[in-house]
Amino acid sequence: MKYISTRGDAPSLTFEDVVLTGLAPDGGLYVPETLPKFSQEEIASWAGLSYQELAFKVIAPFVAGEIPDADLQGLIDKSYATFRHDAIAPLVQTGHNEWILELFQGPTLAFKDFALQFLGNLLDYILKKRDQKVVVMGATSGDTGSAAIEGCRHCDNIDIFILHPYQRVSDVQRRQMTTVLEKNVHNIALKGNFDDCQNMVKASFGDQSFLPEGRQLVAVNSINWARIMAQIVYYFYAALALGGPARPISFSVPTGNFGDIFAGYLAKQMGLPIDQLVIATNANDILHRCISENDHSKKELIHSLSPSMDIMVSSNFERLLFDLYGRNGASIKQLMEEFKSGAMHLSDEALVKARELFSSYRLDDEEMIQVIADVFEHTEYLLDPHTAIGVQAARKRRRRQDIPMVCLATAHPAKFPEAVRKAGQTDDPALPHHMADLFDREERYEVLDNDLSVVQKHMQGNIRA
């Protein structure tokens, strides 16, 4: 299995190399040269497999033997051993043919655990085999950081630096990161927004000369292919639980950086009968505007009660565009150059292709709060703000009532007590018992100016020999 850049000017890589590379040298994102395809009969034969067994079936073709099967299964088993629910990704019914896929049963209560527990173990395996040390650098709008830290905290060959926007993540999200005190973990609160954090990470990947000799940066954001790959699995898991592949399934996905829903797109390309994918956005609605109006323009970031989706530039959208434009790297390079000016427009052909599978909807905070209240009133099921956006988007954009609609629950409501209180709950939702003392734990983090040289100097002083 080879991996190629969406912009067409970078060398192809093997699986292990692509895990360690992140952004391609030409600025593009790596994708498989070809996707594995599964027949309906093969998918049907997986019914009844455990989540871990199914993950091996889906992931193994992407690894293509670079990691022995027994070792790969071991990495998968280790990655999901820390999840609180034996089903790993349980389904809960909230309406007629409407289901919630609970992706918050991992150690940091967010869907990012599915990819980042696996990525942490995968990196540790590859680095030990190569006797190599690396620096992980990532930006987070709230959930990626804690999941990445949890995945990498015990890795001897990794120093991890996570940037989050200062005072713009929830208290629970911040403390999940800043109370991890291992020597290889470094949290930076950047005086800026998420896009500032992400731009700083991209700039550092573009010029790594600030690192000590022999070190390289590794990405944990969803630009890393291994994250997307791991997220494909739960689309197959949910579909099989609801009667697939004998009948189609639809999904609604709260969407910021487009990685989670892109995994659903890949699942369809690999043979899973997905009828519809609903892009659910908050007020930062560049993806909704693109699909509904062909308006992919940057606007000022709005800070919302669903902070993990407070993203204006959705990096993984480039991976979809690569397919929509016939996998023509030159076209994507030109499109991304156009976007640098602040806006781009899809060709008529690309837009038609996108709309065949994708629908979209936008919710502001007021509507989102009402959804949390309404769903709780009718079901006594408490949604987090991001999941509420996915549920309402599903209800507004659903094409067929006879096809199960699965709404991805991306975080536990305890991570966002402000939104829950505004929805009428008198008590904050309780943290799971393993996190009950979170607000009593010691914190450690640095508040730094939005200045690339300041951040890189801080990193230089904290990378272990």
Active site residues: 112
Q: Is 75 exposed, middle or buried (CB count within 10 Å of its CB: 0-12, 13-18, 19+)? A: buried
102/113 Cα distance (integer angstroms): 12
Two tokens at 361?
């909807």
205/257 Cα distance (integer angstroms): 18
CA-closest candidate to residue 327, choices 33, 16, 2, 24: 33
Sequence-ordered list of residues with C-beta below 8 angstroms from that of 300, at least 6 positions apart, any chain: none
Q: Residue 52 in contact with residue 117, Cβ under 8 Å?
A: no
Helix runs in 219-302, H state only: 225-241, 259-269, 286-293
443/181 Cα distance (integer angstroms): 8
301/257 Cα distance (integer angstroms): 14
74/69 Cα distance (integer angstroms): 8
